[in-house]
Amino acid sequence: MPTTPAFDMVLFGGTGDLAMRKILPALFEAHRDATLHEQGRIIALGRAASSRDDYLRQVEAQARTHVRVGADDAAWRSFLERIDFLKLDSSNAADFQQLAGLLARADGERVVVCYLATAPRLFTEICAHLAASGLNHGNVRVVLEKPLGHDLASSAQINAEVGKHFAEHQIYRIDHYLGKESVQNLMAIRFGNVLFEPLWRREWIDHVQITIAEDLGVEGRGEFYDRTGALRDMLQNHLLQLLCMVAMEPPANLHADAVRDEKLKVLKALRPILQDDVPRYTVRGQYRAGAAGGKPAIGYRDEPDVAPDSRTETFVAVRAEIANWRWSGVPFFLRTGKRMAERLAEIVISFRDVPMRLFGMPSALQGANRMVIRLQPDERISLHFLAKQAGDGMRLQPTSLALDLLSTSQRRRADAYERLLLDVIRGQLGLFMRRDELAAAWRWVEPILETWEAEGSEPKPYTAGTWGPAASSALLSRDGVSWHEEL
Ligand code: BG6
């Protein structure tokens, strides 16, 4: 992997959870691989450390424990040398002048990456101060973490404010799912092979399922989560991005805008789910006490910082449709939830049955042709089909071919954040959301959120450690199908 250009990574929220759990460990991995330019500096900003030494102690105690394959001492020490710390209050213009002074001290042309790993309400203020200190020149890029807004209006407002100071090509909106190796593999499989394309359409595909299930609960983020819910936290971004990857037309090339134009077309073609359709095509759930990951789990309403009568959904399932020639009439079932039976992200492409039953197949063998793309915890593609049962007669039985993608390459797999951080430093925008994509995604989910709110109904309860409320299975059974694990 060629090294990056020289850079300054300015980390707003440098003492926060995201910096410690994801960003610094990812930068360390790239450092250990010698992918970072030797002139690359990390300037962490925050208020929860008093000095560089104090900050490095925090990094040692927190970030180091999140490095996947332990950090050896020599590599770790040389990594720490890249890090500087500045105590910065995001409302104080003088602090930004000090930051500008620190950045100006570096030699030569450098990329400046301002990573805003802070609460989104600070984005506007930080960008305005950066611009006022001259830190919005052509070499500066800003990285915005999700959630970008709470609805269409608030997201449009953040984008408009940031857009006053930075051009669109300087703005990198993170959806970390796009940085996952397995998600990029989906593009490779679809567009690098001729095998699947002829089948990848309504004539041959019966329906598609996309699941991101987590066994974890809200993990100390009760306050944020209770304001957010599964639809905003996961479906509006990660699940819709996966849907785009499955449904988009082949782009003319791999330039960022060629790919993003195709994804945008999918988002715009999503059939709106309006008021009366909301109860029919969506399910929201909330976990009650149970057991998950082999341990007892408390109910959502008993989680710290969650309202005891909270109506926030910790599970959502939606039946979506894409109104275009390729997909018209094909249901896309999307679901995600906390405290589900296991941690699992997968896409199931379910093909139609053969036009005539030559072998008198029992109905249990219907829907037998499936392609399952497992994104996590393992990375695997399996093709399910029917073959003859050995012996007398002509009976069919389900069988499958499986490919373990982890074993096909010896190379270390970069974590999503590592891949995305390197892309920002290199100026590659392809795996980041464009402003119009974000708006289109909000436009589609907003009527669902509004209807839920107006209805004032309770989310359906489900026991922690299960696959969600019974209504989730019912959502599919109306189309005569079942979730993959129920087959
Ligand atoms: C984040 C959500 O975007 O994605 C979290 O805010 C969620 O609630 C996380 O746990 C899941 O990511 P991953 O990569 O662990 O599947």
Task: Walk along the chain (487 residues) and give the pLDDT tens digit of each residue.
Answer: 779 999 999 999 999 999 999 999 999 999 999 999 999 999 999 988 889 999 999 999 999 999 987 778 899 999 999 999 999 999 999 999 999 999 988 777 899 999 999 988 899 999 999 999 999 999 999 999 988 889 999 999 999 999 999 999 999 999 999 999 889 999 999 999 999 999 999 999 999 999 999 999 998 899 999 999 999 999 999 999 999 999 999 999 999 999 999 999 999 999 999 989 999 999 999 999 999 878 899 999 999 999 999 999 999 999 999 999 999 999 999 999 999 999 999 999 999 999 988 888 787 788 899 999 999 999 999 999 999 999 988 889 999 999 998 888 778 888 899 999 999 999 999 999 999 999 999 999 999 999 999 988 899 999 999 999 999 999 999 999 999 987 7
**From the CB of 214, is ligand 1 less than 6 Å away?**
yes
- CA-based radius of gyration for the chain: 24
Nearest CA to ligand 1 atom 15: 214
Kind and range of the H or E run holding 205: strand 205-213
∠ CA(59), CA(60), CA(63), 5° rounding? 55
* Ligand 1 centre distance from Cα of residue 479 (Å): 29
**From the CB of 233, is ligand 1 less than 6 Å away?**
yes
pTM assigned to the model: 0.95
Distance, in Å, from the CA atom of 446 to the CA atom of 459, rounded to the nearest integer, reads: 17
Helices (H), 255-332: 256-269, 278-281
Helices (H), 64-180: 73-80, 93-104, 123-132, 152-165
Residue 238 appears among annotated catalytic residues: yes
* Ligand 1 centre distance from Cα of residue 336 (Å): 10
Active-site residue, from 129, 207, 238, 384: 238
Classify domain 7-145 by CATH number.
Answer: 3.40.50.720
Longest dimension (CA), the chain: 85
Is the CATH number 3.30.360.10 carried by domain 178-413+435-486? Answer: yes
Location of each CATH 3.30.360.10 domain in the chain: 178-413+435-486
* Ligand 1 centre distance from Cα of residue 466 (Å): 19
Residues 451 and 259 sit within 8 Å (Cβ to Cβ): no
Pairing of the two strands 344-351 and 282-288: unpaired
Location of each CATH 3.40.50.720 domain in the chain: 7-145
